[in-house]
Structure 1
Amino acid sequence: MPAPLRVSQDELIAAIRRIAEHDGIDAVTMSSVASAVGMRTPSLYKRAAHRHDLLRLAADDAARELVAGLAGIPEPDGDPGEVLARLARALRAFAATAPRISALLFAAPSEEAAPSPSASEPLLRLLLAAVEAASPGDPLPAARTLTAWIFGFSTMEQAGAFRLGGDVDDAFEFGLDAVLRAIGVRGS
């Protein structure tokens, strides 16, 4: 009897992300992932109880990747509003490179498929701290508003929904400025 194929966690996550980005979130099934990594489906159940466990692995990986990317954004001197603008642009860029996996961060099909608290907490802490530094009052409503706008804009952009002409980058900057003003971001 041949020895079972050893699949690393990184290989498993890479396969989940490839399937999701190429064929869509619904294509991530126990069977499709097992096939992609060269194992039998029953063997995959030793690693994940159901497909939403697989999606959570990818969501956690995406959250960690995004936090690492955001941590590398240099902070401008004296302008907390610009920090938020840089974070917004980085979130949009991430959504452009991983549109389907980034959707798991903000609109997972279930609680089980969403990033785990341990993976999402650093992202939330980073966003809340940036909002708190730039906007008066409770940072949570402002952070939710900003995040919802960025995710909505990025989702529409990835779907090709902006068909009226004009420059989409200019539209993003216009919207970002409007949202930042709406949440009360203090200027430099």
Structure 2
Amino acid sequence: MVEDNEINQEIILELLRGVEIDIAENGFVAIEKIQSQQYDLVLMDISMPLMDGLEATRRIRQLEGEYYKKIPIIAMTAHAMSGDKELSLKAGMNDHLTKPINPHQLRDTLLKWLPPEKISSSVAHDYHYPPPCQGEEIPPLEGINTQSALSRIGNNKDLYKRLLIQFFENNKDKNNQIQKSIREGNACKSKGNCSLPKRSLW
């Protein structure tokens, strides 16, 4: 998994519990890792620091050897506008998943691109999660669909609360930074400050 956002990393790790997953935080690290050992499939974020997923994919496809030409690379991104999937495919990716990740779509995509002998029981089973357990209720939060979020992480309330706290800690200064950028007329910087929260919401 090539993903710079720790919250998104935790979500995928929860959805693919039991699957052996290696993590790279940007395109440079992904290229280094993919040359040091063989992987069955790559989940590739698009917007990352230092090197984005599109450029990383292009460079992987240019490496010498059949392995680099054929390894399935799946975009896993908040880029959901018209034409974004085409950009992913043009860069050399095999498929395109949009965030927030739908567990069933993730499973179907892995089943589509993984060789049959590489499909573990963790991937093959459908996602039939138990209903949220009884206990401490999670108070409603404006702008966040709690039920939808829980359904994407196996109704794991403990993980959900942990991710909310982590999201708050990671972004508590963003609002002040955005307001400051707007006052200074720096729209580009303001847009950059908005990108992390946007990609983290699910």
* TM-score, normalisation: structure 2: 0.22
Q: Which has the higher strand share?
A: 2
Largest Rg, 1 or 2: 1
**TM-score of the aligned structures, taking structure 1 as reference length:** 0.23
